[in-house]
Amino acid sequence: MAEDNIFREVDEELRSDRMRALWRRIAPFVIGAAVAIVAIVAVNEGWAWYSNSKSAQSSQELYAALDSANKDDLPAAQAELDTLAANGSGGYPVLAEFAKASLLAKSGDSAGAVAAYDTLANDQSNVRLRELALLQAASILVDTGTLADVETRVGSIATDDNPMRRVARELIGLAQFKAGDNEAAKASFEAVLNDPLAQDGIRNRVAYYLAAMTSNGAIAPEAPADASTAADAVDSIIQGDEVTAPASDAAPAEATTPAETTTPDAPATTTTPAAETPAAEPAAPAAGTTTPPATQ
């Protein structure tokens, strides 16, 4: 038993020595990994706080610029937007560029606004932001440009698989109407109306365009579904009443006028007892004669 205890103690000492040696080898790596994890978490939290702080500041600068624009202080708004575009955080520099282009259009510089939107469309890697810039440029060119200018910018957007196709088709339809191509404008507007995903706002606008074009004679009104006019429908109803009117609806005077009716003779086969048959009315006396008295 004593020898067993000695061997056991020696074995335990050897295992302890091995564990201490292993810990001395891996301890720096374990401690370093723990320190790295803590540092990474701290840096990430610090960067998030810094980004949020910068975004909040950029948001305040953007609202200040928009407030200046609403007060018609366009130079101050332009300067604030330039600063935000240069030093802003997150997506606020792009928003500042869009706002700057909008200010150019508001100030009457349509050409400058279109150029700014075109630059945005060429610089954007985000497809939706690029399409938004092209739509904004096309909306200005509807009034100041040509049909070709509008189609060049939004023609590729007005496809069946593009989520912005309805706005693009509306702008193309307006440009076509301005160019005098009324039938093409009608087709563009009807494509929006027939789109099952079109919202009520754009549906109402397009329906108004079509109604205005119809009222001023630019396009022909739609025929009824049965291809007959209202006058034809009324005529058919009247004719149908004349043909199908029952005999009782005819003028009753013609059926009951005494001058046109004849009293039928009494049937020859019918006999009436003398006691029950009243005496026949005497014939009316001729003029200038007297009626004899009845006999008792």
CA dist 37 and 34 (Å) reads 5
Whether residue 229 has pLDDT greater than 60: no
Kindly report whether the global pTM for this prediction surpasses the value 0.85. Answer: no
- Token pair in block for residue 161: 């698989």
CA dist 201 and 37 (Å) reads 53
Task: Name the amino acid, one letter, at 127.
Answer: V
Phi then psi for 138, rounded to 5 degrees? -65, -35
Look-up: residue for tokens 């020898």? 3
CA dist 54 and 50 (Å) reads 6
3-state helix, strand, coil in the chain (%, to 5): 70, 0, 30
The per-residue pLDDT of the chain, averaged, comes to 77
Q: Among 23-27, 43-47, 261-265, 288-292, name the most confident range.
A: 43-47
If one compares 117 and 31, the residue with the highest pLDDT of the two is 117
Look-up: residue for tokens 């091995």? 18
- Token pair in block for residue 260: 């046109």
Q: What is the mean pLDDT of residues 194-204?
A: 93
Nearest-CA neighbor of 107 among 76, 151, 150, 132? 76
Which residues, at least 6 apart from 158, have a Cβ–Cβ distance to it below 8 Å?
165, 168, 169, 172
CA dist 162 and 216 (Å) reads 33
Three-state DSSP state, 276 = coil
| pLDDT value of residue 1 | 53
CA dist 104 and 82 (Å) reads 13
Look-up: residue for tokens 């009436």? 272
Choice among 6-20, 43-57, 99-113, 142-156 with the minimum mean pLDDT: 6-20
Whether residue 266 has pLDDT greater than 80: no
If one compares 290 and 52, the residue with the highest pLDDT of the two is 52
If one compares 89 and 188, the residue with the highest pLDDT of the two is 188
Choice among 5-9, 204-208, 215-219, 261-265 with the minimum mean pLDDT: 261-265
Task: Name the amino acid, one letter, at 15.
Answer: R
| pLDDT value of residue 3 | 59
Residues counted in the chain: 296
| pLDDT value of residue 269 | 40
- Which band of pLDDT confidence, cut at 50, 70 and 90, is reported for residue 221? confident
